[in-house]
Amino acid sequence: MKLKEALEALIRYLALVALSDYLQEGAFEIKVNTHIQDKIGRPLTSGAWLELLREVVRAFITHKKTPSLAGFVPLLSTRTDKLQPTQFLRQIEALIAWRNDVVHPVEQRDPDVQKTYGEFEKLLTDLHFLSNYDLVVPLDTVKGAPNTICAVMVCMGTTFELKKNCCVEIPASLAKEVELELSPVLLDPTGQKVLMALYPLCLHESDPEELYNYLSSTWKNNHPSSLTFWSQPTSNSRLANSAGRTADL
């Protein structure tokens, strides 16, 4: 079941990063907004998460916009003028089908976990570009300079690392999105500037039963201004929600 959970976490993380970027770009595609509105109030399956990811990337391609993480387009599409599925996307779809067979078997059969694990492991090489963007939670800013972060919790790999005496710029356009100790952000490849605020992620002291359930959203003129996802409530959980957004909690 660990492989199933790893697959689900991977798909949902990719979708949340893409959605965060899309929201910060102004939610510019009405078809995607309608799709979000139709899907978001229901429990999201792995397939639905992948569909959100695919359609957001399609919108960036159609509108000739470059995502903040430029690697998203070649990850999912072999073309830059329209979405043409890559092997990565097709393999993710196949793994979701495997996951569904394991969770909801039509007939009793022994899943070939070792083979599937090998297929999943191969996908990770295509995600190397993500390592260029540190995921951190800002903890403190320079006294008298609120747009300069001086301490962060780095959330990369399997551990957390407290990093002090750093110097990370918060662009004016993102100043309202970043709240100390709460807002997870991605840094640009230099590690010296906030690239994107995420909408949102959860930081847990204990493992949640479920990752990223839909909780609430706010809309203005059929455009989503916030999307909030949350796990099964636990007594030791803290929500990392994006500051400046009007999510109802």
pLDDT mean over 112-118? 81
**pLDDT reported for residue 106:** 64
**pLDDT reported for residue 205:** 43
Q: What angle do CA 137, 25, 60 make, to 5 degrees?
A: 110
pLDDT mean over 236-243? 34
Q: In terms of domains, do 199 and 222 share one?
A: yes
**pLDDT reported for residue 213:** 57
Q: In terms of domains, do 27 and 75 share one?
A: yes
Assess if residue 249 is contained within a domain: no
Report the distance separating Cα 41 and Cα 52, nearest Å: 13
Domains in the chain, number: 2
pLDDT mean over 128-145? 94
Assess if residue 246 is contained within a domain: no
Hey, how many other C-beta atoms are within 10 angstroms of the C-beta on 47? 15
- Greater pLDDT, 148 or 119: 148
Q: In terms of domains, do 107 and 163 share one?
A: no
Q: In terms of domains, do 139 and 122 share one?
A: no
Assess if residue 180 is contained within a domain: yes
- Greater pLDDT, 109 or 217: 217
- Greater pLDDT, 247 or 151: 151
pTM here is: 0.80
**pLDDT reported for residue 236:** 36
Assess if residue 56 is contained within a domain: yes
**pLDDT reported for residue 200:** 57
Q: In terms of domains, do 113 and 158 share one?
A: no
Assess if residue 39 is contained within a domain: yes
**pLDDT reported for residue 214:** 62
Hey, how many other C-beta atoms are within 10 angstroms of the C-beta on 213? 16
Does the pLDDT value for residue 78 go beyond 70? yes
**pLDDT reported for residue 160:** 82
**pLDDT reported for residue 8:** 87
- Greater pLDDT, 214 or 74: 74
Assess if residue 247 is contained within a domain: no
Average pLDDT, the chain: 82
Measure the N-to-C terminal CA separation of the chain; round to a whole number of Å: 31
End-of-domain residue from the set 104, 132, 160:
132
**pLDDT reported for residue 45:** 85
Q: Count of alpha carbons within 13 Å of 100, Cβ hemisphere only?
A: 10
Residue 96, domain extent: 2-132
Report the distance separating Cα 11 and Cα 126, nearest Å: 13
